[in-house]
């Protein structure tokens, strides 16, 4: 079976500055891969290239076996959904209206949503535990509630791959837990997930694999146990930590050394 996502020899420049250099990436169906690394290391840039917001200087990106270069944005959106770092919610759309926008890639230019689209949006909101918010204005929701609605919008696209850029940003610890538990559940149900995460402990706990990046290059890819090591953290982040093993899960977690 072909990977849901393949990135080959990807390089991206802003002006004359290289931000991603010769990246290679493969993601299997139903896998949860977290990208971790310092600020400015090319994590968000990689997601923007996969979603065709940015055009790479070199390289090829395949989604579900197809080169995305000739695909229209609409065609790609039937395969890939994006949950950005910040979502524009200036207008008072209801949560349900926002989720229904996720059906746009499946509609023709003048087609309006029908009963099937409503059912799919409802299912997406139920999966994201936000159906009870359906009549609430999106700009009146808390951070965690709003994030669940945006994830539901992505699910309404019926994608095979979902890209998330720091999905727990600005959320309190309870909201972070809810969002990460949701993503893990979706992955277990077969959805492929590629997420940029800053918290190494959260990444190691929830993701199947981690990709460690620095200065636009991949430093290592592997299981949490392989990636979260004292040497890797020192080499990439320039800090000294102690890596411990969780007594119940066996997953690694870091403790800062002062």
pLDDT single digits (tens) 135-193: 999 999 998 999 999 999 999 999 999 999 999 988 899 999 999 999 999 999 999 99
Phi, psi for residue 175 in degrees, rounded to 5:
-65, -35
Sign of CA pseudo-dihedral 86, 83, 168, 152 = positive
Q: What is the structure's pLDDT at 67? A: 96
Average pLDDT, the chain: 93
Q: How far apart are CA 60 and CA 12, in angstroms?
A: 11
Q: What is the structure's pLDDT at 257? A: 83
Report pLDDT digits (tens) over 211-257: 999 999 999 999 999 999 999 999 999 999 999 999 888 999 999 88
Question: Can you tell me the mean pLDDT for 12-34?
Answer: 93
Is residue 70 left, alpha or beta, with left meaning phi > 0 and alpha meaning psi from -120 to 50? Answer: alpha
Domain with CATH 3.40.50.300 in the chain: 1-79+159-224
Provide the pLDDT confidence category of residue 88 given band limits of 50, 70 and 90.
low
Q: What is the structure's pLDDT at 170? A: 86
Question: According to DSSP H, which parts of the chain are helical?
Answer: 43-50, 73-77, 95-100, 115-127, 143-156, 173-188, 200-206, 224-227, 230-237
- In words, the CATH class of domain 1-79+159-224 is alpha beta
Q: What is the structure's pLDDT at 91? A: 74
Q: What is the structure's pLDDT at 90? A: 61
pTM for this one? 0.94
Question: Can you tell me the mean pLDDT for 89-111?
Answer: 88
Q: What is the structure's pLDDT at 92? A: 84
* The Cα angle at residue 206 between residues 201 and 209, in degrees rounded to 5: 95
Q: What is the structure's pLDDT at 16? A: 84
Provide the pLDDT confidence category of residue 66 given band limits of 50, 70 and 90.
very high
Provide the pLDDT confidence category of residue 89 given band limits of 50, 70 and 90.
low
């Amino acid at each position: 079976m072909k990977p849901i996502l393949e990135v080959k020899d990807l390089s991206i420049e802003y002006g004359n500055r290289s931000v991603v250099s010769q990246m290679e990436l493969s993601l299997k169906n139903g896998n949860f891969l977290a990208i971790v690394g310092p600020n400015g290391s090319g994590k968000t840039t990689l997601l923007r290239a996969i979603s065709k917001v940015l055009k790479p200087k070199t390289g090829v990106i395949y989604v579900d076996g197809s080169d995305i270069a000739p695909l229209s944005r609409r065609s790609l959106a039937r395969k890939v959904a994006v949950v950005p770092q910040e979502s524009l919610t200036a207008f008072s759309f209801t949560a349900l209206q926002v989720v229904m926008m996720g059906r746009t890639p499946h509609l023709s230019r003048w087609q309006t949503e029908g009963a099937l689209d409503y059912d799919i949006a409802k299912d997406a909101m139920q999966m994201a535990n936000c159906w009870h918010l359906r009549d609430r204005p999106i700009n009146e929701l808390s951070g965690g509630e709003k994030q669940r609605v945006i994830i539901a919008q992505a699910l309404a696209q019926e994608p095979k791959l979902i890209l998330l850029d720091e999905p727990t940003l600005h959320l309190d610890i309870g909201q972070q837990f809810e969002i990460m538990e949701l993503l893990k559940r979706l992955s277990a149900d077969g959805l492929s997930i590629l997420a940029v995460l800053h918290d190494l402990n959260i990444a190691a706990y929830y993701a199947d694999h981690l990709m460690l990046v620095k200065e636009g290059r991949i430093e290592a890819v592997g299981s949490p146990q392989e990636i979260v090591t004292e040497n890797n953290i020192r080499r990439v982040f320039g800090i000294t930590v102690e890596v411990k093993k969780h007594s119940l899960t066996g997953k690694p977690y870091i403790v800062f050394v002062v």
